[in-house]
Structure 1
Amino acid sequence: MKHFITATLLMGLATPVFADDITIGFAIAKSGWVEAYDAPAVAAARIRIDEINAAGGLMGKQLKWIEADTKSDQAQSASAGLQMVDDGADMLIVSCDYDFGAPAALAAESAGLNSFFLCAEDIKAGIQGVGPNSFSASILAAVQGATMAEWAVKEREAMTGYVLLDTTIEYNKGICTGYDWMFPKAGGEIVGRDTFLNGDASIASQITRIKSLDKEPDVIMLCSYIPGAASAVRQIRAAGINSTILNGSAVDGSYWLDAAPDLSNFIVPVQGSIYGDDTRPAVNEFRDAFEAATGAGPSSTYAYPGYLLIDLWAKAVERAGTVEASAVTAELEKMSNEPTAFGPRSFSSEIHHQNTAEMQIIEITNGKPAVTGSFTISEPVPLAVLLK
């Protein structure tokens, strides 16, 4: 039976707290466009919390969670983070995207707490943009772009590439940064580049410039997210351009494919397949467990880092013997090829992300996504490239 402590303060009674609980605060989007990315990862995180509790807890204590809605708003993210700190969270979990999770993560950093982005893939979602106690268990956007670059050259013999960058958020820039670094290294040539904004109704001028090339590029690296990515893909194909289109993990999932009917020759890298066909049985088993727990399979690969972050943080807490942030950070930074169901994960005193990882390669053919193999880049993306 739980025992709780009450204390009398000068201004009245404190809210009762359980002495044998460890509290995880979720400052996440429960509404707005970021919810589509946050919700699956939150559900996966809570599955791992339940597993830990069922196995006796963490350091013999039960994990409980509290939450606040950021409403996909940066100002509200800061308020939600402060609320979680005030409500007694021992660590914070914040939104997937750096721009929308950082305000809450900064509140945790100021309070001396660890924070984990649910699935942020920008190098700034960690040491470089928040502080020494902030992490992400996801795979950097630059790794996704580099994976697509090297995979396209080695597996599809792509020699020419066109870069189409959606400049709306930092994630997109990271994908293109990785691609720009790796494609020439792997033997390809970038024959042109252009930009657009996610909310642009038309990319007609960009398409005109692609069609004006002497020869259609072998691949188009589209660095974007839904809905802008879907609109761009539809317009590219409607213009008669048949180049292989590459993107990052943000467009994983079949939920948007009605916007680009019968799409083929579209490739994305993901850290785990949601279709039950991952090359690693443990990932397929978790996918089935997720469906059993929530009533539906994960809508995108972004479910998986939520499970991973709890798993890795809990291991670090057990090894540190405390939830105190600096001690937990020290244990996380010792992790080198730490085994997980989704492959090894590593952190260091310089990078609190994954700058190399095995990726599942998803190809969409006639509107149907499926794993076509797996791929790991030949070398990690250097920090200097990540900071560009």
Structure 2
Amino acid sequence: MSIKKTAAVIASGAIMTAGAATAQDDKELLIGGALSLTGIQAPLDTPGFLGAEVAVDYLNENGGILGRQVKFVNIDGKSDPVTVGNVAVELIDRGAELMVAPCDFDFGGPAGREAQEAGIVGISTCASDPLYSSWSLGDKQFTLSMWNTTMGAVAADFACEEKGWKKAYVVTDQFIAYTKSLSKYFVEHYKDIGCEVILEDTYTNGDNDFSAQLSRLQALDEKPDVIFLSSYGQDIGVIIRALREAGIDAPVLGGDAYDDPAMHEGLGEKLGNDVYFVTHAWMGPESHDEMPNFIELYKAKHGEDPESSFVATGWDTIMLMAAAVEAAGTTDGAAVAKALEEGEFDLLTGKLSYSSAEEGHEPDKAAVLTELVKGKPSFMGWRRPETLPKP
């Protein structure tokens, strides 16, 4: 079903229908957002914000949600958990009926907790640590992203089974839950499928000094076939540059934090090779039949092509909310959460279904594998592991 003909990307059997008339039909439906448009989280949240704006315009041009026009108000969370929580409280006080949370547990969790306290559904655009779950945040909280159990397993399957890289050096940035759990699940799955981690190392975000880690790596009796680097922000590029300038040419593998055009540009044609990462989508027709239509809408709104898959997470978060509210016939938090639990959604970021609240609202979702070639991303296809490590 084309996005040019329907007001949401809808799951099989969950086609939107007009809701019953209510006293709120003539009142805007306020969706609050605490996405961080400044600070270290901005490269992930800003694209999501831009994609969400496109979705809201599209919905309003096609009848809104339950016949109500949609208003999306985002207040900059400033990459600060306390600010994010305060922003969520302010938006709920203004009458927000749904909440868009930042793309991370540490930064997004405060918005989810405030949404839960208010009894409304909150969805993070792309938090992937399993801490972003109904177990931690409550029965009305969800994330659009696959969990790091999937992201880590996709990376491990690719390295060990597809490429035959049997020995890995693993570096874990101690920055946030995301960077730590991504390595954890990669290592667990990599070992489970018969490959070996020859050294696990750590890094502290913001150090901009990888010399101690290089010394330990160079002192190994055997060279790694692959380097799994779980880091965040521009530190990823700093570390890759340090590796290459030290003459270490092993392929580098990581997660969705690599999906940052500024990092790709910084590496350039010389250093931006043999780098692979697992992310949410590919901004081209190879990824999803509806992607060209979305890109057309995005260009009409923002005057340029989308730069990363995080743009699609913003669109999908709003469209997922629309689908669930329409299926529920109300914005009541319990009813919308039930619709999300019972639905199956065909999104730009892949088909998605959730487990029950008792099972954590675990997302069942595939991931995209991407390669950097001369500093430019290249689509390698969708991946869905046959088995996953336990969260």
Using the size of structure 1 for normalisation, the TM-score is 0.88
Q: State whether residues 75 and 87 of structure 2, in contact with CA within 8 Å, keep that contact through their aligned partners in structure 1.
A: yes
Q: 1:37 matched to which residue of 2?
A: 44
| Structure 2 counterpart of 1:308 | 316
Are the structure 2 counterparts of residues 58 and 266 from structure 1 closer, same or farther at C-alpha, using a change threshold of 3 Å? same
Give percent identity, aligned residues only: 30
Q: Cα offset for 1:110?
A: 0.9
Give the one of 322, 336, 345 matched to 2:330: 322
Map Cα deviations across residues 30-72 of structure 1 (whole Å, 9 max, x no partner). Answer: 3222222111111212222222222212112111122322222
Q: Give the deviation of 1:87 after TM superposition.
A: 0.4
Q: Is the 8 A contact 2:25 2:68 kept in 1?
A: no
Q: Which stretches in structure 2 are left out of the alignment for 5+ residues?
A: 1-23
- Report the counterpart of residue 269 of structure 1 in structure 2: 278
Aligned to 1:141: 148
Q: 1:248 to 1:172 in 2, by over 3 A?
A: same
In structure 2, the partner of 1:80 is 87
Cα distance in 1 between the residues matched to 2:209 and 2:132: 31
Q: Which residue of 1 aligns with 2:21?
A: none
1:153-172 pair list within 5 angstroms: 153-172=160-179
Bigger relative contact order, structure 1 or 2 (CA pairs below 8 A, ≥6 apart): 2
Amino acid at match of 2:109: A
Deviation at 1:173, TM superposition (A): 1.4
| 8 Å CA contact 1:108, 1:115 repeated in 2 | yes
1:291 and 2:299 aligned? yes
The amino acid of 1:120's aligned partner reads A
* Structure 2 residue 369 is the aligned partner of structure 1 residue 352: no
Q: Which letter maps to 1:167?
A: Q
1:218 equivalent in alignment to 2:217: no
TM-score (norm. length: structure 2): 0.88
Distance 1:320 1:366 in 2: 47
1:286 CA drift (Å): 2.3
Let me know the Cα RMSD of the aligned residues.
1.9
Query: Is the Cα contact below 8 Å between 1:93 and 1:118 reproduced in 2?
Result: yes
Partner amino acid for 1:79? N
In the TM superposition, what whole-angstrom CA distance separates every residue of 1:265-323 from its partner, at most 9, and x where no partner exists? 1101222123x363433234423432332122223221112111222221111121110
Summarize the Cα distance change of 1:322–1:227 in structure 2 as closer, same or farther, 3 Å threshold.
same
User: Any runs of at least 4 consecutive aligned residues in structure 1 with deviations exceeding 4 A, and if so which?
Assistant: none
Pairwise CA distance, 1:353:
4.4
SS at match of 2:72: strand
Unmatched runs of 5 consecutive residues or more in structure 1: 1-16
Matches within 5 A, 1:197-276: 197-261=204-268, 262-263=270-271, 264-274=273-283, 276=284
Taking a change above 3 Å as real, the CA distance of residues 312 and 253 of structure 1, as seen in their structure-2 partners, is: same
Say if 1:221 and 1:245, in contact at 8 Å, map to a contact too. Answer: yes
Alpha-carbon spacing, 1:284–1:255, altered in 2? closer, same or farther (3 Å): farther
